[in-house]
Amino acid sequence: MKIWFRIGLLNLVIVALYGMVMRYKIAFDFPFFDQKNLLHAHSHFAFGGWVSHFLYTGLASILLPYLEPRKKRTYNLLIAANIVCSFGMLIAFTIQGYKAVSITFSTLSIIVAAIFAWQFIKDSRQFPVGHPSKPWAITGLILNVLASAGPFSLAYMVATKSINHEIYLGSVYYYLHFQYNGWFFFGAMAIAISLLPPGAFSFKGYYRLFAITIIPTVFLSLLWARIPLWLYVITVVATLVQLGAWFALIRNTWSNLAKHMRSWQNRWVSTFFYAALAALFIKFILQAVSVIPSLSQLVFGFRPIVIAYLHLVLLGVYSLFIIGYLLKTNYIPASNVTRAAAFTFLLGVVLNEALLAIQGMAAFAYIPVPYINEMLFGAAVILCWSATWLFLLNINNKNAPLMSL
């Protein structure tokens, strides 16, 4: 029995701990560790050790029932390899930042992603005909590999000491786009669809729209580079199509979706899915607003705004969705104590996002917000404490349906 989801919760605790330490360093005096190194370690581990680890495990859990038992070992090894790479990056980035060891583990994680994608796509032929999760999962895995061009570009610039500021920023935003809007979105959709009653919902048309628009929308993060007019028009159209597709998807499935979640034994668990859906809706709206070039340049020039957006997606969308999934599938026991811990985490997410939004809006007017760093540290404490609480509850859950690989 390989307890991958349990390890994922431990990784969430580590992500939250790093966030708390960084907030403490900003609010108070803490001379140990380099803040930039901590940031690299925090972000890489959040991507690889938390969200990607969950997606690999979740996608494997969808596919494995259709495979012969010997195939389980392959996915077991690949998920373990990703964990090793994630912890390697965590330690190396913490100690030395972008240097040989951290770049090596980052490269190895990309190789693992490519092998996992190849293996999954090959084995996906065993899915029943018309399995709704299949196209979302395959597209997400391909986009995960495609995103690797960003880190390779960064590693090359660091290794050759030939850093161009615009190319550096472009590489970062390219990577973030194909992770946040590509791999994370399509992978999470594949897992979410697997929770729904077979045949109750049709996602084919929506899948095509999101798949077609994923590449053009990368230029949303590059409007500051003064792209050609024709490319800007394509970007605007693709962005509006995504917003419209998400609105139509929610509108056309809402009644059946709400009815399905009301049938759950622990109806309060649906709160986390509703919260993730709401955060994702806000994300698509913000994307649509950012097509205004002057506003886009202004937003990307204020670090608090960028941080608020990144946390909206990573915490508000994907982390809340993951916790909802773990509660729904009983990997975290759905008890009254668990409800308190889970809603405390939700409170931390909302508080953190609200404070970041206030800080970002105030930055536009160059208005200082009293004690904002101390309050953000308080939100980080709530997130770390509640994540630890959830992990300990999972450890004590003897009846959790642990992942058997």
Q: What is the pLDDT of residues 352-373, one digit of tens each?
A: 999 998 888 887 777 888 889 9
Q: To which residue do tokens 């009846």 refer?
A: 399
Instruction: Compute and round to an integer the Cα radius of gyration of the chain.
Output: 21
Give the largest CA-CA distance in the chain.
61
| 309 has a pLDDT exceeding 90 | no
Angle at 53 between CA 104 and CA 43, to 5 degrees: 60
pLDDT at 403 over 50: no
Across the range 142-165, mean pLDDT stands at 81
Return the closest-CA partner of residue 226 out of 149, 174, 166, 285: 166
- With residues binned 3-state (H G I as helix, E B as strand, rest as coil), the percentages for the chain, rounded to 5, are 80, 0, 20
Closest CA to 283 of 233, 336, 235, 353: 353
Q: Residue 163 — left, alpha, or beta (φ > 0 → left; ψ -120 to 50 → alpha)?
A: beta
Taking CA 214 as the corner, what is the angle to CA 307 and CA 58, rounded to the nearest 5 degrees? 75
Alpha helices in 290-371 (DSSP H): 293-299, 303-311, 320-328, 336-364
Q: Which pLDDT value is given to residue 151?
A: 79
More confident residue, 83 or 196: 83
| Predicted local distance difference test score (pLDDT) of residue 333 | 83
**Phi-psi group of 318: left, alpha or beta (phi > 0 → left; psi -120 to 50 → alpha; rest → beta):** alpha
List the structure tokens of 329.
């599938």
Confidence of residue 398 (pLDDT cuts 50, 70, 90): low
Instruction: Give the pLDDT confidence of 222-272 residue by residue, as tens digits.
Output: 877 778 889 999 999 999 999 999 999 999 888 888 888 888 878 899 999
Question: From CA 348, how far away is CA 354, in angstroms rounded?
Answer: 10
CA 156 to CA 152: how far, in whole Å? 6
How many residues would you count in the chain? 405
What pLDDT sits at residue 154?
Answer: 77
pLDDT of residue 185: 96
Which of the given ranges, 38-52, 147-161, 216-230, 286-300, has the highest pLDDT on average? 38-52
* Residue pair 355/381 in contact by the 8 Å Cβ criterion: no
* Strand extents, DSSP E, 95-225: none
- The answer to whether position 56 is within a domain reads yes
Q: What is the pLDDT of residue 300?
A: 64
Residue 55 has pLDDT above 90, yes or no: yes
Least confident of 26-30, 54-58, 188-192, 294-298: 294-298
d(CA 201, CA 48): 31
Structural domain contains residue 316:
no
Confirm if 153 and 167 have CB atoms less than 8 A apart. Answer: yes
Q: What tens digit of pLDDT does each residue of 373-382 get?
A: 999 999 999 9
Average pLDDT, the chain: 88
pTM of the model: 0.92
> Do residues 348 and 377 make contact, with C-beta atoms less than 8 angstroms apart?
no
Is 386 among the domain residues? no
Residue 122 belongs to a domain: yes
Q: Which domain does 116 fall in, by range?
A: 33-194
In order of 19, 40, 153, 167, 168, the CA distances from 162 in angstroms are 30, 20, 11, 10, 10
Quote the distance between the C-alpha of residue 7 and its chain's center.
17
Categorize the per-residue pLDDT at 110 as very low, low, confident or very high, splitting at 50, 70 and 90.
very high
Count of helix runs (H) and strand runs (E) in the chain: 17, 0
CA distance linking residue 105 with residue 12, whole number of Å: 20
Query: By the 8 A CB rule, do 72 and 201 touch?
Result: no
Q: For the beta carbon of residue 198, count every other beta carbon within 10 angstroms.
A: 11
50 belongs to a structural domain: yes
Which pLDDT belongs to residue 332?
Answer: 84
CA distance 334 to 353: 26
Among the listed residues 373, 327, 58, 79, the one whose alpha carbon sits nearest the alpha carbon of residue 194? 58
CB contact at 8 A, 379 and 352? yes
pLDDT at 191 > cutoff 90: yes
Assess if residue 237 is contained within a domain.
no
Question: Which pLDDT value is given to residue 15?
Answer: 96
Q: Is residue 59 part of a domain?
A: yes
Q: Name the most confidently modeled range: 29-43, 46-60, 166-180.
A: 46-60
> Token digits for 396?
């004590």
301 within some domain: no
Residue 350 neighbours by CB distance under 10 Å: 16
Residue 275: predicted pLDDT = 95
For range 141-158, the mean pLDDT: 85
The pLDDT of residue 304 is above 90: no
Distance CA 340, CA 334 (A): 10
Domain count across the chain: 1
Q: Higher-confidence residue: 148 or 225?
A: 148
